[in-house]
Structure 1
Amino acid sequence: MSERPDMWPKLDHAELAPMVDYVNRIVQVAGKYALDDPFEVGWGNIVLDVTPRGLRTPTFRHRDATFSVHYRLLDGDVVIETDEDERRLPLSEGSVASFYRAFCDVAAELGVHAPRTSLICEIPDSPATFEDDDNERTWDAHAAHLMWQTLNLVAGGLEYWQAPFLGHRPRVGVMWGGFDLSATRHRPQPAPPPPDAPPFMQNAQINAYVAVGFSFKNLPDRPSIGMYAYIWPQPDGLADRAWGVEGAHWDEEAGLVLLPWDVLRQTPDPRQAIVLFGDAVYQAAVDTADWPAELVGPRVDGWHMSRTATPATEYLHG
């Protein structure tokens, strides 16, 4: 599982911020279709998969069409693919508003209705709707490649961390509202959400969960790229714990455990560091919030198992 740390790129918040902001908005356009599908606990149904070339929606099986939308960050385009045909939209220059109009026009050609809402969500100080966001944008291919490379590397670590969990765990993917790469572990323990939280957060917090993820904008009040984690409901006793990786720390103001990107990429094996970080967070949930330790099984090397004889195979080939 080890890999060269120099594969993990340097990231500059100021360089990436314009593209992160732009991509966050445009992925919400197709992401809205997930709201037509049955709600899964923790919004597990809405995440975008990290693909070999970008971010893709789940397959939507609607009455008039079966389709998916692929935001190809490495190609600078968007592909709408249906059971009948496909169309591509370039992402060279323009505004969110012009992209939204073009998207709806092309989707209509394929028999796909427009998203049922055009509200922009979870982005502070944003125009209210896609139609209102007429700021001109320029596609930065280098920044887009860095974004994909980062998400792809981190997704590998989070998937490895998630694998032995025996409870409910939605697939690892990008939550298109906050634009964070998320891995969550849930258990059926009611957790009354805060009454003043927005509805989407109240729906997310109806049961207890542990979240580990990555964000290009961890903290709204200061630049911060890296891993985050939290336990919901938040227990006491998190301030003085170790978090698996030197440099990971509890941020009391944010209510998050943070592992900065510059710290992560300098570890001998960043993917293994993600696993150690996630394991430390889950152990904190066991120690401080009575999460069951037995919900985590052993990490098994599937290749080794497939090549190692068992008594049954020895008998069959005996």
Structure 2
Amino acid sequence: MDERWPPLPYEPWRETCGALHLWCQILGKYRLAHAPWVNHSWHATLYVSPRGLTTGPVPDPAGAIALTLDLRDHLLVAEAASGAREEVPLGPMSVAAFLARARDAVGALGGTFAIHGRPNEIPDAVPFAEDLRPRPYDADAVERFHRALLSIEGVFQLFRTSFLGKVSPVHLFWGSFDLAVTRFSGRRAPPHPGGIPNLPDSVTREAYSHEVSSAGFWPGGNGMDAAFYSYAYPTPEAFARAPVTPAAATWNATLGEFLLPYEAVRTAEDPQATLLAFLESTYTAAAETAAWDRAALECARGVPRVPRAVG
């Protein structure tokens, strides 16, 4: 198998994945606390990097600070515009211990670490500072997860190039812990009903203010292994019945979205082509059943060094 698409069964690293999710929430909340609001909460997300997951530069009053979970050398790295740098080893620890170490690292750089202290989008969330339960750290699983993210991010970026309309960056939403890319029709959407655990409805409604076709990757949970998803909001009546590929893709009525197991992509003869087929076919299903203006919104897939044709 291609090492760029490593095995990622959820259950063996479930506890580590849960800890990593909460650590990402802490980093994301630091960015959220300082970055000006951008449509659909794009100012709060994390990005995949060759080393791991990063906030990118955060406009702290002390000067720009970036926080990175280095998933290769297993470090929390805090870097300031001044060139100062703090490193914290990653390993078995409680969420409260990670919070304290992240706060100390930012403070050592002169930054201000004041975040909302409760996780978002998690039912019965325990405040970070009160989460004292020891958590394991499976370094091998973390490295495999990072390799998978790098491969997936590359395919998402390629998929993103064939759309002329408004399209999101490829970024990781730390609330739900999914890597996502979203296309917009340009039309307003009806108010979202909200109701996501530990997330203000005002945030959800702003995020879904406009009609979308969204796809992403989730590492697993709630009895499911890692999977790709694709949904539309609002959901067209015929969306669930639309033909999509590959054959392993199915409609999940409970979630209201198409799912494709990561394992089906990883073990395919051509993982990139298999994932692209899922992304393109589910977007087509959303665009066709919701009557998007596809001629105005779509273009050929981008290639290096070739500008878009004009006129």
| Deviation of the 1:302 alpha carbon | 2.2
Match of 1:240 in 2: 241
Q: Distance in 2 between matches of 1:201 and 1:78?
A: 29
Please list, as runs of the form range in 1=range in 2, the aligned pairs for 1:197-212 lying within 5 A after superposition. 197=195, 198-199=200-201, 200-212=203-215
Match of 1:95 in 2: 94
Among 9, 16, 19, the alignment partner of 2:16 is 19
Match of 1:154 in 2: 152
| Deviation of the 1:196 alpha carbon | 4.3
| Deviation of the 1:70 alpha carbon | 0.6
Q: Distance in 2 between matches of 1:27 and 1:196?
A: 23
State whether residues 46 and 58 of structure 1, in contact with CA within 8 Å, keep that contact through their aligned partners in structure 2. Answer: no
Instruction: Flag as ranges the 4+ runs of structure 1 deviating above 4 A.
Output: none
Cα-Cα RMSD: 1.9
Match of 1:181 in 2: 179
Q: Distance in 2 between matches of 1:246 and 1:64?
A: 52
Match of 1:130 in 2: 128
| Deviation of the 1:244 alpha carbon | 2.3
180-189 or 251-260, which moves further after superposition? 180-189
- What runs of 5+ residues in structure 1 fail to find an aligned partner? 307-318
State whether residues 229 and 258 of structure 2, in contact with CA within 8 Å, keep that contact through their aligned partners in structure 1. Answer: yes
SS in 2 for 1:187: strand
Matching of residue 28 in structure 1 with residue 25 in structure 2: yes
State whether residues 185 and 293 of structure 2, in contact with CA within 8 Å, keep that contact through their aligned partners in structure 1. Answer: no
| Deviation of the 1:170 alpha carbon | 2.1
- Please tell me the residue identity of whatever aligns with 1:28: Q
Match of 1:164 in 2: 162
SS in 2 for 1:8: coil
Please list the CA deviations of residues 230-268 of structure 1 after superposition, one character each: whole Å capped at 9, or x if unmatched.
011111112322212121111112101001112112222
Match of 1:121 in 2: 120
- Please tell me the residue identity of whatever aligns with 1:237: A
Alignment: residue pair count: 300
State whether residues 170 and 183 of structure 1, in contact with CA within 8 Å, keep that contact through their aligned partners in structure 2. Answer: yes
State whether residues 165 and 186 of structure 2, in contact with CA within 8 Å, keep that contact through their aligned partners in structure 1. Answer: no
Q: Distance in 2 between matches of 1:208 and 1:288?
A: 13
Q: Distance in 1 between matches of 2:238 and 2:12?
A: 37
Q: Distance in 2 between matches of 1:22 and 1:192?
A: 35
- Please tell me the residue identity of whatever aligns with 2:110: G
- Please tell me the residue identity of whatever aligns with 1:33: Y
TM-score for both structures, normalised by structure 2: 0.90
Q: Distance in 1 between matches of 2:261 and 2:13?
A: 16
Please list the CA deviations of residues 68-92 of structure 1 after superposition, one character each: whole Å capped at 9, or x if unmatched.
1010111111000001211011112
- Please tell me the residue identity of whatever aligns with 2:207: A
Please list, as runs of the form range in 1=range in 2, the aligned pairs for 1:1-318 lying within 5 A after superposition. 5=2, 7-35=4-32, 36-84=34-82, 85-127=84-126, 129-197=127-195, 198-199=200-201, 200-217=203-220, 220=222, 222-294=223-295, 295-302=297-304, 305=306
Please list the CA deviations of residues 86-108 of structure 1 after superposition, one character each: whole Å capped at 9, or x if unmatched.
10111123211011112112211
- Please tell me the residue identity of whatever aligns with 1:272: A
SS in 2 for 1:69: strand
State whether residues 164 and 296 of structure 1, in contact with CA within 8 Å, keep that contact through their aligned partners in structure 2. Answer: yes
Q: Distance in 2 between matches of 1:238 and 1:250?
A: 9
State whether residues 76 and 139 of structure 1, in contact with CA within 8 Å, keep that contact through their aligned partners in structure 2. Answer: no
| Deviation of the 1:6 alpha carbon | 5.7
- Please tell me the residue identity of whatever aligns with 2:96: A
| Deviation of the 1:288 alpha carbon | 0.7
Q: Distance in 1 between matches of 2:3 and 2:79?
A: 36
| Deviation of the 1:172 alpha carbon | 0.5
Question: Sequence identity, in percent?
Answer: 28
Q: Distance in 2 between matches of 1:202 and 1:158?
A: 25
Structure number, greater radius of gyration: 1
- Please tell me the residue identity of whatever aligns with 1:67: I
State whether residues 168 and 185 of structure 1, in contact with CA within 8 Å, keep that contact through their aligned partners in structure 2. Answer: yes
CA distance 1:115–1:292, shift in 2 (3 Å): farther
TM-score for both structures, normalised by structure 1: 0.88
State whether residues 165 and 185 of structure 2, in contact with CA within 8 Å, keep that contact through their aligned partners in structure 1. Answer: yes
